[in-house]
Each structure stands twice: as structure tokens, then as C-alpha cells.
Amino acid sequence: MININGSTVRIGQFGVGPIGLESIRLVAKKPWAQVVGAVDVDPEKIGRSLGELTGLEELKDRFVYGSFEELWEETEPQAILHTAGSSAETSISQIAPMARHGLAIASSCEQLLYPELRAPESSHRLDVLCKRHGARVVGAGVNPGFVMDVLPVCLSGVTTNVRGVFVERVVNASTRRGPLQRKIGSGMDPEEFRQLFAAGAAGHAGFRESAALIAHCLGWPIDEMVETCEPVIAKSVIVTEHFDVPPGKTCGLHQRVVVKSDGEQRIELDLKMYLDAEDPHDAVRVDGDPPIEAIVKGGVAGDQATVAAIVNSVPRLLRSSPGLLLMTDLPVPSWA
């Protein structure tokens, strides 16, 4: 295994969107890491300097390549930050070539939090590939990846018995990036949003994976998992940097997932993410002995925390055994 103590980890970036660029900026500040280059499919970014794209002069001689193969040939990274989509199947196909080189890959792909749920066969193949070549892969992030899954699992560790888990997250989406405001349906007709959610083209990704990870860690077989999502309707005009939403149109979502095990409701996750949401917070309640309730006032800041979660997972990932791993397979999350 690579020991980051006393050595610099060479890190490449796969996906140069808003989260990818922020990841590069954070890695550039880490004394244990070195940014070596990036990959993107956008022809307007390929060949450009990361110094130009990030505004960091020290990255002026690091570039964006059109494929992972080019990045590997030119820079030979040891780890990759993968921020290029939400689909487990698609992400696994992108990550497999990296695994063949024995790299450590931390991905923001929501479905990779618990990949067996939607891509069991591909997940098994990637796990075998990782173990054969000494690679490590994990799906990381803030939600999924911490607030509504890893955090309640950690809190359950100081109970003698757990009967159920409830997590509520209220997010003021007006403070978030444009693509997220678009994904929660900002400005859409409510019925159009419902149709898009039913088609898997709208809503918060990775919600079912969060519930599945909790069930997996607490040893609860899933008898039934029900996910619902309804638009939140604007009562007055809402103006953000990215959208002007008139009254009667969608300004966000209320999404829930409920899991039953052995005939009992065991898990309930409740997410309200909408523009100008009041009293943003994260609340976790573990119905156990003793019962535990934790509240994060203001909530965990999504975009910044997502970048931190991905980057901070790299040292722990490098010290882990090879394979396609879960966040709960790694040591407790910590600042690196």
C-alpha cells in the first residue's frame, strides 16, 4: 500500500465541472498531494491549463486531457478524484481502466455509495478487478456519503440496541450551485417535475443507496423500500442567481424513502430541498438504548462539504485493502 507519510500522492481529476474544479483547488492546498492533470470530454476544456481553469498560477503546467489513457501516459497518477455523473453503471465503466493500473479512486457518483443496489453484476466485476490489480474504489460525498447514512451509522455505535433510524435534512437550495437548483425542478410546472422524477431524470440521487447502506450496516434485511418525491410549490416570486421562479411553479422537492425489515418500519429518510427554505438543518434520531438525537444547525454546506468528503477520503482509501469499498469500510471520516 502507498504510505502518504513522507511522500506526495499524485492525484488526477476525472471530470472538470464545478465540483471537479473545486476538488482541484482543494487538492492543490494539501501538503501531502500533488495535482498532475485532469480528464474531461468537453472539447473546449481539453488541452487547457488547470491554472487557467482554476485561477491557480501553480497549476499552469498541468493540463486537461481527453481520456484517462492520455492522462496516465503523461502523468501516472496514484489516485483519481472522479466527479463525472450519478449512474453506477456509467461510473464503473469509466473507473475500470483506472483500476487496471492499481489506482485509488474516490468518486462523487451517488449510486456508488452502495453500488450493489442498482449495479450488482458490474459492481462484482469491478471488485474482482480491484483486488486483482491492487486498486481501491469508494463512493464518497456529503449526501449520500455522510449526513443521511454514515453519520447515523456512527451514532448507532454507542447504543446497546437499535429499533429504527430517522434522518431529516432541510436544505436552502438558493445557496447551492445552478445545476443542483435545476435538478430539484426550479421553475418547472409541478406535473412536469413529477413526470421527470418518475422517469429518473429529477430528484435527489443516491437516496435509496443511503437507506441501503444503513440497512446493510445494521444487519436489517430489506423487505420493502418505498421512495416518493413531491414538488415544493413557490408561494411567491423567488429570485436566485440562476432562476426566477413565479408563484405556482416548482421551487424544490420533498423526497422520502422508507425501509421495512421483518415487518417493521426501520428507516425513514426525509429530505426537503427547495429555494429559500427556512430553518435549514440536519437531524438524526436513533431509536435505541439509549435513544440519540443529533442536530446540525444550518445543515452541512453541500457543495463545499462534498469536495471535502471526496478529498479527505483519499488518505484513508490508500491505507485500505483493495476492492470496491463502502464508506463504512474505511476508517472514520476525518480531515486530512
Query: Which pLDDT band, with edges at 50, 70 and 90, does 4 fall under?
Result: low
Q: What is the pLDDT of residues 185-240, one digit of tens each?
A: 999 999 999 999 999 888 999 999 999 999 999 999 999 999 999 999 999 999 99
DSSP lists the bridge partners of residue 35 as: 11
Percent of the chain with pLDDT over 70: 98
Q: What is residue 2's predicted lDDT score, i.e. its pLDDT? A: 43
pLDDT, position 268: 98
Is the pLDDT assigned to residue 283 strictly greater than 60?
yes
**pLDDT tens digits for range 286-305:** 999 999 999 999 999 878 99
Degrees, nearest 5: CA angle 260-264-266: 60
Query: Average model confidence (pLDDT) for the chain?
Result: 96
pLDDT in tens, 60-103: 999 999 999 999 999 999 999 999 999 999 999 999 999 999 99
Average pLDDT over residues 166-186: 92
Q: Write down the pLDDT at residue 175.
A: 86
Q: What is the pLDDT of residues 95-141, one digit of tens each?
A: 999 999 999 999 999 999 999 999 999 999 999 999 999 999 999 99
pLDDT-based confidence at residue 3 (cuts at 50, 70, 90): very low
Cis peptide before 247 (omega within 30 of 0): no
Q: Does residue 278 register a pLDDT over 60?
A: yes
Contact 111, 205 (CB under 8 A): yes
- pTM of the complete model beyond 0.85: yes
Query: Quick one: DSSP state of residue 8?
Result: P
* Cα 191-194-196 angle, rounded to 5 deg: 110
Segment 240-259 mean pLDDT: 96
SS3 percent helix, strand, coil of the chain, rounded to 5, is 35, 30, 35
In the chain, the domains with their CATH numbers are: 9-140+304-329 (3.40.50.720), 150-299 (3.30.360)
